Amino acid sequence: MRFEPPPATLRLRIDRDALTANWQALDRFSGEAQTGAAVKADCYGLGVAQCVPALRDAGAAAFFVAHWGEVAAVAAHVSSATIGVLHGVSTSAEANFARDIGGVPVINTVRQAQLWQDAGGGLCHLMVDTGINRIGLAPADIGNAAIQALNVDTLMSHLACAEEDSAENMRQLRLFRSIIPAIAHRRTSISNSAGTALGEAFACDLTRPGLALYGGKPNAGFAQHIRQVAYPQAAVLQIRHIAAGERVGYNGQFVAPAPLTTATVSLGYADGFLRARGHDASLTYQGTPLPVIGKVSMDMITLDARAAPMLREGDWLDVPFDLPQIAESSGLSQYELLTTLGHRFDRA
């Protein structure tokens, strides 16, 4: 017998219309180029099942994940031939799996190229490192026989400073352009979300936005074009009344300055509400902000609920999720805010 759990006390609403509109906005930024979608890390924490069908229906036809373990969930919605795997193939097991499932490895090293050919090879992408010095082929290795033997769909590189107004972007683009004639390929691609705002020259044949699809704004150019996609909510577990001088939460860090009504809420750092967010943060009840007090726990936070006398156990609170704003106040990156959301939300 299988037990279906009851609805969670955490829910994450995905605004599919906003997701679609964001992809369309990035597609406009991409000009003549095709617009793909980075869907790694479970669509940056928002859920492959919720996001990939909307991106597919909007027109995306190139999807990127990092790990082979991420392919099957995406392939439930799109052809595996449209899924690029950014980490490439580091073992023969990965190369064989790639052949079996039909995902397309992004080859990053000479050794990966050899592993891929040894497994039978086939269409792949090729990542050349033009300055981030993280993963990707060194430009000097482009003439290597194992690389030249690859059947390359998309020749790609990745920008290190795309969200900044930095001379490094043009330097990387120039280096990338100098490599393009050195290997046969079908398409070129250098831009992530922020790269698409750098101008037409950066679009190449395919763009690979991630963050901005999900509501992140890597730079000011996106301000009016990108909409919030994720709306988390958490339920009140308990309402308490405490006296002045009583303490709240681990280590008794918060001391009630007056008699307080508190609300303990089903949301903690295991749900992406990291302690860095707890300072001067609020959740809202029907638009009324209720400040977080005391330390954030793994599964709970406590709020000063005096501003909402009608609040009852079981009521739902909105968790603010304007990404640029919360990144600013918490010191966390917009990427971290999305990808740490965790697995306990009911995503809908």
CB of 308 vs ligand PLP, minimal distance in Å: 36
Nearer Cβ to ligand PLP (19/305): 19
Q: Is 158 in the site for ligand PLP (CB under 6 A)?
A: yes
Per-residue burial over 249-263, b if 16 or more Cβ lie within 10 Å, else e, is beeeebebeeebbbb
Q: Are 40 and 65 in contact, with CB atoms under 8 Å apart?
A: yes
Task: Write down the residue that tokens 């906005």 correspond to.
Answer: 25
CB nearer ligand PLP, residue 88 or residue 210: 210
Query: Quick one: which of 109, 193, 262, 266 contacts ligand PLP (CB under 6 A)?
Result: 193
Return the range that interacts with ligand PLP (CB under 6 A); candidates 75-83, 166-174, 204-212, 261-269.
204-212
Residue nearest to ligand PLP (CB): 210
Instruction: State in angstroms the smallest separation of the CB of 45 from ligand PLP.
Output: 12
Contact track, ligand PLP, 313-342, x by CB under 6 A = ------------------------------
Q: Which residues are known to be catalytic?
A: 40, 250
By CB under 6 A, name the one of 209, 215, 232, 249 that touches ligand PLP. Answer: 209
User: To the nearest whole angstrom, how small is the minimum distance from the Cβ of residue 333 to ligand PLP?
Assistant: 10
Between residues 11 and 208, which has the closer beta carbon with respect to ligand PLP? 208
Sign for the CA dihedral angle at 267, 269, 271, 274 comes to: positive
Q: How many angstroms separate the CA atoms of 318 and 329, rounded?
A: 17
Nearer residue to ligand PLP within complex by CB, 210 or 215: 210
Footprint (CB under 6 A) of ligand PLP, residues 39-68: 40
Q: Compare residues 190 and 290 and give the one whose CB is closer to ligand PLP.
A: 190
Q: How far is the CB of 158 from ligand PLP (least distance, A)?
A: 4
Per the CB < 8 A criterion, the answer to whether 303 and 283 are in contact is yes
Q: CB under 8 Å to 261, separation ≥6 — which residues? A: 239, 240, 241, 304, 305, 306, 309
- What is the closest distance, in whole angstroms, from the C-beta atom of residue 211 to ligand PLP in the complex? 3
- Least distance between ligand PLP and beta carbon 4 (Å): 34
First to last CA, the chain: 26
Identity of the residue, 38 or 203, whose beta carbon is nearer to ligand PLP in the bound complex: 38
- In terms of Cβ atoms closer than 10 Å to its own Cβ (0-12, 13-18, 19+), residue 21 is middle
Binding test (CB under 6 A) with ligand PLP, winner from 185, 208, 217, 347: 208
Q: Is 211 near ligand PLP (CB under 6 A)?
A: yes
Closest distance of CB 164 from ligand PLP, Å: 12
Of the candidate residues 75, 86, 113, 283, the single one contacting ligand PLP (CB under 6 A): 86
Please give the Cα distance from 72 to 271 (Å, whole number).
24
By CB under 6 A, name the one of 131, 210, 272, 324 that touches ligand PLP. Answer: 210
Binds ligand PLP by CB under 6 A, chosen from 192, 262, 264, 297: 192
Q: Rank residues 116 and 214 by Cβ distance to ligand PLP and give the closer one.
A: 214
Q: Does 38 bind ligand PLP (CB under 6 A)?
A: yes
The site for ligand PLP (CB under 6 A) is made up of 38, 40, 86, 158, 192-194, 208-211
